[in-house]
Chain A
């Protein structure tokens, strides 16, 4: 069980570091197709920022900002984004996740729309990985009791 432990240095450093970590995670997700990185790595870094929030403060402090219900919804939302883009490609007449066909509904050329499709997929993967990492950590540290508010 992680209890609230008032330490001025740890809490101040974490308050400064957490937005920077989250900004870096968004950069990694958005530049996944130009440079090393992508949805999985960016989602892991984004989940690590929430885990740092739990370690520096406590679970209830973090759950006031990012509740369990939102967490479950985000896990489903990421998979939904991934699947919807794939099914949209089938409906437009190409294979599953063949983004090139999306130029029929997005008014750019076929090369740019391919990069855009990759970006949408990476965002979906990043959302799911972030929510799953936070969920694993919370259930691991509290033996699954945090949903009833027993910690």
Chain B
């Protein structure tokens, strides 16, 4: 039964990762990377690596999203390319 959930999470993970690359708005890109980190955290917790999942939730989704938004304050919100 878990493999259905795993495939579902991996599909959403892939969509989040591709959308974070292709979206033009940098703020949406940062938020999509945060969603990617949370899905990765669920995947790791499901595989049994609880400590890694906790680190991913604290660092990947919490701190690094705040850092990205802080960096976007200093630049323009939309990409040129």
Q: CB within 8 Å of B: which residues of A?
A: 1-2, 36-38, 40-41, 44-45, 47-48, 51, 55, 133, 136-137, 140-141, 143
Contacts and interface: CB of A to CB of B under 8 A. Distances in A.
Contacts of B50: 36
B58 A41 contact: yes
A23 B22 CA distance: 39
Contact of B55 (A2, A40, A51, A136): A40
Interface string B51-81: 1011100110011001100110110000000
What's the dominant secondary structure at chain A's contact region?
helix
A48 B63 contact: yes
Given A36-B54, A40-B55, A41-B58, A47 B71 contact: no
Given A36-B50, A40-B55, A140 B62 contact: no
Nearest to A25: B58
**Interface residue SS majority, chain B:** helix
Nearest to B53: A36
Given A44-B62, A48-B66, 5 more contacts: A36-B53, A41-B55, A48-B62, A136-B67, A137-B66
Contacts of B67: 136-137, 140
Nearest to A37: B54
Contact of A1 (B54, B63, B71, B73): B73
Contact of B66 (A36, A41, A51): A51
A143 B74 contact: yes
B51 A36 contact: yes
Interface string B33-61: 00000000000000000110111001100
Nearest to A38: B51
A41 B70 contact: no
Contacts of B58: 41, 44-45, 48
Contacts of A51: 63, 66
B55 A141 contact: no
A133 B63 CA distance: 8
A45 B71 CA distance: 20
A133 to B, nearest CB: 6
A40 B56 CA distance: 11
